Amino acid sequence: MAWGKRLCLLAAVLAAGMMATPLARAQDQAPDHQLHGQDGDDAVARGEYMARVADCGACHTVPGGAPFAGGMAFHLPTGTLYAPNITPDRQTGIGRYSEAEFSRALRRGIRRDGATLYPAMPYPSYARLTDADVHVLYVYFMQGVKPVTHAVAQDGMVWPMSMRWPLSIWRTLYAPDPEAVRRDMDRRTFADPLVARGSYLVEGPGHCGACHTPRALTMQEKALTAADGPLYLSGGDVVDGWRPVSLRGENRTGLGRWNEHDIVRFLATGRMPLGAAFGGMADAIGHGTQHMTDDDRLAIARYLKTLSPAAPMVAQGWTYDPAVTDALRAGDVSARGARAYVDRCAACHRTDGRGYPTTFPPLAGNPVVMDPRPDSLIRIVLEGNILRATRQAPSAFVMPGFAARMDDRAVADTVTFIRAAWGNDAPAVTGVDVARIRRTLSPGHPPASLPMN
C-alpha cells in the first residue's frame, strides 16, 4: 500500500474517532442506566440492581436466611467476623441511618456511631460509587428491603484485632478518600464507553479486587484500579480456603485464553467451556453477576480483557499435550497419581483431561489447575464442590469430595498429576500442602442446601 493511501486511511480513522462520542469516564452512566427520576419504584428497582452489582447479599445474607439480615461468618487468620444486619430494622439494622451516614459507611467505612468498619466491608472499592448509585442503594435498603429484627453475634476477633480504634488508623492510611477518588475518576478517560463502564463496575461496586488483588502485610489491596499497575487483579490471597485467581491476561494462570464471550457466559451461568465457578466466585455469581444486564457483563468482560499480564511471560502459552492421554489410553498408569486419577476423576474429567464442557469442567489448560498456589485445587478434591444453578443455567452439578477416601499422599499425587498433565506445567504439591488444607475443611461440610436436580 502506498504511503499516501496509508496516511489517508489514518486521517480517516482519526477523524472518525474525533467525530465519535467524546472519551468516556468510569462514572458515566451506560445508556440503559440513564436516570429517569431520583425516587419512587424506579429508584428502588435500580437500587436493587446496584445491590446485586455490589454483591451486598454475598456477605449480608445467610443462605436460606432473610435477605440482608446478616450473620455470615468470615473466617480470617485474625479471627472470625460476622456480617451485620443491614435491613432497615431500627434496632438491629440500619434503619436509623440518614443517607449521609449511609454514604459515609459505604464509601469511607465509618459506622453511624463513628466506629470504623472492618475492611471486610470493601469501602476502598465502594469509595468509587457515584452519588446517584449511593442514592438508589439507600432508597432500596430503606424502602425495598424488609426490616428484620436480628441481632448479629458479636465479632469473634481476638485481641488485639478485636479493638476498633487501630482500624481508624488503618483506614486513614490505606482507604482512599472519596473526594480524591472522584477527582481521579474525572481525569481518567476511556476510548470505549463499555470499558469505562466496566472499569466502574469492577473497580467500584463489583469490588473484584477485594478478593482478586493481592494484599500487603498491612492488609490493604496493593492496587485499587487498573491505573495502579499490574498487581491489580493479579490474583489474591486465600479467602475462606479458596485462592482467587488472576483476572489479568496471563496465558496459563489468568484470563489470557478467555474471550469476551467466555467471560460474559461465566458471569451469567458460572460455566463456560474452559472452566466452572467454585468457592467464593460461586456466591458472587449467585448473588451478583447472574442478575446483571448483558450489557454490564459485556462491559466487565471488555474491561478485564484490557488488563495485561502481571508478569512477562516466562513459559510458552498453554497448548494441549496428548502424551499423558496416550499413556492412559494405552493402559499405562505408572505415573504417580495416574492410577488414582483414572479411578477417581476420569469418569467426569476424562483421561484426556478435557472434561465435558460445560457440565464437567476441563482440567487441561484450566487456570485454576495451573495456579502457582494449589489451595483451590486441593480443597475441591478434598471437599468437592457444587456448581450452582443460575437463572440462565438451571442445572446444578455436584462434585463429590474425597477427603474420607484419600489420604494426604494420594491427594498430593493426584493433584500433582493433574497439574503436570496435558500441557499443564504447575509445580508438584506435597502431602504437607494437603494436610494444611485438610485441617481447615469447614465442619459445616457437606453444605446444608443441596441442589434439587
Partner 1 sequence: MSDDARRLRAVDVVIVGGGWAGSIMAKEMTEAGRSVVMLERGPDRSTAADGAYPASIDELEANFRYKLFQDLSKNTVTIRNNSRQTALPYRRMAAFLPGEGVGGAGLHWSGVHFRIPPDDLRLRTRVIEKYGAKFIPEGMNLQDYGVSYEELEPFFDKAEKVFGTSGEAYMVKGQVVGKGNVFSPSRSDHFPLPALKDVYTAHLFRKAAAEVGFHPYSLPAANASRQYINPYGVQMGPCNFCGYCSGYACYMYSKASPNVNILPVLRRHPLFELRAGCHVMKVELDAEGRRATGVTYTDPDGAVVTQPAEMVILTAFQFHNVRLMLLSGIGRPYDPARNEGVVGRNFVYQNVTTSNVWLDRGIDTNQYIGAGGGGVAFDDFNSENFDHGPLGFVGGSPVWVNQAGVKAIAAAHSGGPPGTPRWGSAWKAGVIDTYRHSLRIDAHGANMAYRDVYLDLDPTWKDAYGQPLLRMTFDWKDNDIRMNRYVVDRIGDVAKAMGARRVNLTKREFGRPFDTRQYQTTHLGGGAVMGTDPGTSALNRYLQSWDVHNVFVIGANAFPQGTGYNPTGMVAALAYWAAHHIRTTYLAHPGPLAG
Rg of the chain on CA atoms, in Å: 23
Of residues 230 and 384, the one with the C-beta less far from partner 1:
384
**Among 115-123, 173-181, 283-291, 395-403, which window interacts with partner 1 (CB under 8 A)?**
395-403
- Look at strands 397-399 and 275-276 and give their pairing: unpaired
Kindly give, in sequence order, each residue whose CB lies less than 8 Å from that of residue 14, ignoring residues fewer than 6 positions away.
none
Q: Which of 356, 372, 440, 445 binds partner 1 (CB under 8 A)?
A: 356
Q: Minimum distance between the CB of residue 380 and partner 1, rounded to whole angstroms?
A: 15
Distance between CA atoms of residues 67 and 436, nearest Å: 34
Using the rule CB under 8 A, is 66 a contact of partner 1?
no
- State yes or no: residue 396 binds partner 1 (CB under 8 A): yes
Strand partners, 217: none
Q: Which is nearer to partner 1, 396 or 441 (CB)?
A: 396
Q: Tell me, by CB under 8 A, how many residues bind partner 1.
A: 22
Whose Cβ is closer to partner 1: residue 354's or residue 419's? 354
Q: What is d(CA 92, CA 69) in angstroms, rounded to the nearest whole number? A: 9
Is 337 strand, coil or helix? coil
Query: Taking the complex as a whole, how short is the minimal distance between the CB of residue 342 and partner 1, in angstroms?
Result: 12
Q: How far is the CB of 57 from partner 1 (least distance, A)?
A: 17
CB of 359 to partner 1, least distance (A): 4
| 392 contributes a contact to partner 1 by CB under 8 A | yes
Stretch that binds partner 1, among 6-14, 357-365, 371-379, 431-439 (CB under 8 A): 357-365
Report which secondary-structure segment, H or E, holds 156: strand 156-157
Q: What is the DSSP letter of 116?
A: B
State which of residues 324, 380, 389, 434 lies at the interface with partner 1 (CB under 8 A).
389
Whole-angstrom Cα distance, residue 73 to residue 85? 12
Task: For 252-393, list the strands marked E by DSSP.
Answer: 271-272, 275-276, 385-387
CA distance 129 to 185: 10
Q: Which of residues 335-354 bind partner 1 (CB under 8 A)?
A: 347-348
156 belongs to the binding site for partner 1 (CB under 8 A): no
Nearest CB to partner 1, comparing residues 258 and 402? 402
| 282 near partner 1, judged by CB under 8 A | no
Return the half-sphere exposure (C-beta side, CA atoms, 13 A cut-off) of residue 193.
Answer: 11
Please identify, using beta-carbon distances, which residue of 190 and 360 lies nearer to partner 1. Answer: 360
Rank residues 289 and 385 by Cβ distance to partner 1 and give the closer one.
385
Cis upstream peptide for 214 (omega within 30°)? no
**Contact flag: residue 358 with partner 1 (CB under 8 A):** yes
Cα(385)–Cα(364) distance, rounded to whole angstroms?
18
CB of 149 to partner 1, least distance (A): 28
At residue 126, φ and ψ (nearest 5 deg) are -65, -15
Binding flag, residue 272, partner 1 (CB under 8 A): no
- CA separation for the pair 404, 305 (Å, rounded): 40
For partner 1, give the closer residue by CB, 79 or 451. 451
Going residue by residue from 402 to 431, which x/- string records binding to partner 1, judged by CB under 8 A? ---x--------------------------
Q: Which of 284, 278, 283, 281 is nearest to 383 (CA)?
A: 278
CA dist 127 to 207, 353, 390, Å? 10, 43, 29
Q: Which is nearer to partner 1, 96 or 391 (CB)?
A: 391
Q: Which residues make up the interface to partner 1 (CB under 8 A)?
A: 347-348, 356-360, 386, 389, 392-398, 400, 405, 450-453
